Structure 1
Amino acid sequence: MKRIVVLGGGESGAGAAVLAHKKEFDVFLSDSSAIKPRYKEWLNKYGIRFEEGKHTEELILNADEVIKSPGIPDNAPLVVKIREKGIPVISEIEFAGRYTNAYTVCITGSNGKTTTTSLIYHMMQKAGLNVGLAGNIGNSFAYQVAECSYDYYVIELSSFQLDGIYNFKPDIAILLNITPDHLDRYDYKMQNYVESKFRITKNLSEDDCFIFCSDDSVTVEQLKRIVLRAQQLPFSQREKENQTAWLEDLDMFINYNNSDFSMSINDLSLKGKHNVYNSMAAGIAGHVLNIRKDVIRESLSDFQGVEHRLERVLTVRGVTYINDSKATNVNSAWYALESMTTPVVWIAGGVDKGNDYSELMELVKTKVKALICLGTDNSKLHAAFDGVVPVVVDALSAEEAVQQAYKLSAPGDTVLLSPACASFDLFDNYEDRGRKFKQAVRAL
């Protein structure tokens, strides 16, 4: 019997273990940290053997194949040992893809992927399709393949998940943009990260569709280098020629198979330039899926948005508080600041992933009246913005940051949590950071 070892007992790992068990493999799961009760329940329900708080090498290095959770880096000593023994290491997405014939719509990009994934899922549900939501959002893809019978999946893919893909193939692949992110995982080399994102196109055939932003210079540059067999469906806010979706004044047009679809960007539920891109990508996907135009239009106009992504929390004493905790890189924070129309008290900081703040400089100069650095080490933020922003202060908790913001803001201002950094110096994850921020705002 083939032995499968799963490294990591979170959503993706526990889900992969359940699917492997159902496919009658000899399964063992190992996590160096504590496993959450919810995932232990899954493992115990199926009698899957597991360990937590350690990795026992003799129980791992005898695997025929290892499924690695995306959070574990490739250069982790144990992963290096596994590879040296010639044991294949794959992702949960690769593993689950072997056991489903469902139609898959896969979305990647440095920014906007959760919003676009959620928007397409919303559209497909509205169209009455039997669809699951998976990957970096929603439930484990493998767990759903094991337990549900969906005809379609909408899957958000991070670069870490794509790194473990070899034969998996989307039917529709969407690449929104590529800007520097997670460079700490890619030897601080942008090209390594770019190639990781482009793995989404690796196995596409002539029958598949590749939807991409032709305004993104990094994407276009990389496209020149590779041979892509799939149908290419570009979208742009700058060009009209040869685009599948484009802008004319305030109208968004989509032309797929002579569909002739248009709607005003004022009718899109998601505001801001970056969300026009997200809506274009979703609209093209809807056309490829043969969803009716009225359903596409309705979905783009009534979608509620994603928690922790430019989420309006409350207006207190004339000041609007916005939770954009999901902005874990500089480019996300750029989009957030770009969409602000009032003076901003900006809360930023956390674990820096090799950030270059210079691209924010012009926006910060014109829009930010005060900066609150929320992190254990704010030296890079201070180096970039001391003397640029009139007031720069530090905070060590969401509550302290909100109290400071309350003092520094005036009616008509916006307090924006858009950290441009990862969260794990002071919080469990970006969701924890966002929830604590909202809690602190509600307590004002």
Structure 2
Amino acid sequence: MNISVVGLGVEGQQATIALLKREHRVYASDINRKIDLSILNQKKINTELLDLEIGSHNLDKIFKSEAVSVSPSLFDKDICKKIIEKNIFLSDVMTKHKNIKTIAVTGTNGKTTTSHMIYHILSNAGFKVVLGGNGGGGFSGYTELVLKANEEEYDFMVIEVCDMTLAFCDYVFDIDLVVATNIGYDHMDVHGSIEHYTEEIGEFIQNKTAILNKNDQNLLKITDKSNKTLLFDKYQEKLNLFGSFNLQNAEAARIACLELGIRENTIHNYLKSFKSVAGRTIKINYNGNEIVSGKTDNVDALKAVLEEDKFDIVIIGTPRKHETCRFNILDFVKEYNPDTLIIFPGLDDITYDYVQYMNKLGYNKDLMVIKEIKNIIKFIDTAKNKKIFIGGNGQSKITEITSKLF
């Protein structure tokens, strides 16, 4: 097929890769001349099938396509509305995925682990399950999920839904069941306020069954928005995972699977065998040190981990340059007051900005910048009988550091 991709952020680049590996001819465009194409450039792609345009959109090529994949950030723009009107929006051309029993997992934190828990239970119970979604969260994007779901027969589809793509996903997928893990202070530059974010979740759960966190005061405000609301607290059995926050994730997965008709004993058996998802919070014993590592890219996620224990050393990755809203992570780090704080370039190298911020906050303990992963490992090698946390932004780097500690 001749398929266009409009918008080349993370999702758009993932969509382009997904389409090219299936040998579709792709016209991909973005109006931003300075767009970062590092995801696309890291993959081996068939450039003979790719027509790439940066700085403008060729509307003639787009509207003559057999289908169009649109970046979620452009979903409310005129170009997307016209694509939908012309009946060439990808999910309206490929529609088989809309017939699969679909579970969406959204919220600020815990989405990936909860999605994987549900997938683990359902697939081990003998069902054919397709899992994917949020390209920024470690999956291969929504287009990859749509394509997969249209290629084979599945009993269930589990989607991780980024909180910035709620309206987009509500249109693309025919969602039966929503799990909302929590509502936290992330992406406030997009949502505008926690109240508006809460309203967006309320709109998302309309006409669906919703499983909401009873400990989240904002979610409790929208319990009347869904067709049926179930509340979850903490899982009462043991898990092979670090942190009480994972007990909430497990309980959400348990209730979701019960609602899908899975027996209680089956759910308990498979949650017992569930292991931490790569890049998410994991506990490691290394050279006499107790290390907890995991992506904690917003203040609520960081608090959830650090409040579990007192760490002597905190190692934090930096966000992207424009994500100044995530500097509030450092406000909590200052309050937490570890003996040693190490900053590394998680996504963009804004380590200097992080150091300046901590200095303004008056942090007067040991503060270091270590830019190379090999040097972070060397530092950890010199530590003796310490509790160390590795987190913040930069999932791929955190995962790489963790892999070298096993």
**1:418 equivalent in alignment to 2:391:** yes
Could you tell me which residue of structure 2 aligns to residue 10 of structure 1? Answer: 13
Q: Is the 8 A contact 1:69 1:92 kept in 2?
A: no
- Residues 63, 87 of structure 1: 8 Å contact kept: yes
Percent identity over paired residues: 22
Paired residues for 1:223-242 under 5 Å: 223=222, 228-236=225-233
How do 1:223-372 and structure 2 match up within 5 A?
223=222, 228-236=225-233, 252=235, 263-264=236-237, 267-313=238-284, 315-316=286-287, 318-324=288-294, 326-340=295-309, 342-351=311-320, 352-355=323-326, 356-357=328-329, 360=332, 364-365=336-337, 368-372=338-342
Aligned-partner residue type, residue 175 of structure 2: P
State the superposition RMSD in angstroms.
3.6
After TM superposition, list the pairs within 5 Å mapping 1:130-149 onto structure 2: 130-136=128-134, 138=139, 140-149=144-153
1:320: how far off? 3.0
**Does 1:377 find its partner at 2:350?**
yes
Query: What is the CA distance between 1:298 and its match in structure 2?
Result: 1.0
- 2:186 is aligned with 1:184: no
Kept after mapping to 1: 8 A contact 2:27/2:62 = no
Deviation at 1:81, TM superposition (A): 6.8
Q: 1:166 and 1:105, CA in 2 relative to 1: closer, same or farther beyond 3 A? A: closer
Q: Paired residue for 1:122? A: 120
Q: Which residue of 2 aligns with 1:219?
A: 219
Q: Distance in 1 between matches of 2:370 and 2:193?
A: 32
Structure 1 gap segments, 5+ residues each: 238-251, 253-262, 424-429
CA distance in 2: counterparts of 1:203 and 1:96, whole angstroms:
23
Q: Which residue of 2 aligns with 1:69?
A: 71
Aligned-pair distance for 1:17?
7.7
Q: Deviations over 1:1-30 (max 9, x none)?
A: 9x8532345334444688996xxxx96444
Q: Give the match for residue 108 of structure 2.
A: 110
1:57 positional shift: 2.2
Q: CA deviation at 1:134?
A: 1.6
Contact 1:93 1:141 (8 Å CA) reproduced: no
For residues 203 and 52 of structure 2, what CA distance do their matches in structure 1 show? 32
Q: Which deviates the most, 106-115 or 88-97?
A: 88-97
Which residue is equivalent to 2:365? Answer: 390
> Residue 210 of structure 1: CA displacement?
0.6
Q: 1:158 aligns with which of 153, 159, 162?
A: 162
Aligned-partner SS, 1:153: strand
One-letter amino acid matched to 1:437: I
Please report the TM-score for the alignment, with normalisation by the length of structure 1.
0.72
Q: How far did residue 117 of structure 1 move?
A: 0.5
CA distance in 2, matches of 1:300, 1:328: 25
Deviation, 1:60, is 6.0
Maintained 8 Å contact 1:134/1:141? yes
In the superposition, the TM-score normalised over structure 2's length comes to 0.78
CA distance 1:88–1:138, change in 2 (3 Å):
same
Contact 1:165 1:199 in 2 (8 A): no
Evaluate the alpha carbon distance shift between residue 93 and residue 389 of structure 1 in structure 2; reply closer, same or farther with a 3 A threshold: farther
Change over 3 Å in CA distance of 1:40–1:358 after alignment to 2? closer
Higher mean displacement: 376-385 or 85-94: 85-94
User: What is the deviation of 1:198?
Assistant: 4.1
What runs of 5+ residues in structure 2 fail to find an aligned partner?
Answer: none
Q: Does 1:175 align with 2:197?
A: no
